[in-house]
Amino acid sequence: MLCSITNDIESDQPNSSIVLFPNPSRSEFFLKSTNAPIQQIRIFNLMGKELENKAIYKEGVTINIANLPAGIYLVEVITAKERIVKKLVKE
């Protein structure tokens, strides 16, 4: 199966099939996929260290980030059709 890789770290593109909100966030955020169920979510700090790795098989999910310090994180979302990296700001 072919999988496309999309990187929209710099800005949320309106045609992206993954929606992340609210952003910035304080304690949790919601992810929604419009084209395929989310299979995996990984959260990284800006140094590249993986902080969370969750296997998920849903089109929408709430992720608790209350344990993370304030800062900027990268959220990698993997579906059967694509891999997208989103920037998340934790207040």
DSSP per-residue string spanning 38-62: EEEEEEEETT--EEEEEEEEESEEE
Task: Tell me what pLDDT residue 61 has.
Answer: 96
Task: Tell me what pLDDT residue 4 has.
Answer: 47
Task: Count CB-CB contacts under 10 A for residue 7.
Answer: 11
For residues 30-50, give the mean pLDDT: 96
3-class DSSP assignment, residue 19:
strand
Q: Confidence class of residue 60 from pLDDT cuts 50, 70 and 90?
A: very high
What are phi and psi for residue 69, nearest 5 degrees?
-70, 160
Q: Confidence class of residue 14 from pLDDT cuts 50, 70 and 90?
A: low
- Residue linked to tokens 């310090």: 69
Structure tokens at 7: 């990187």
CB 74 within 8 A of CB 68: no
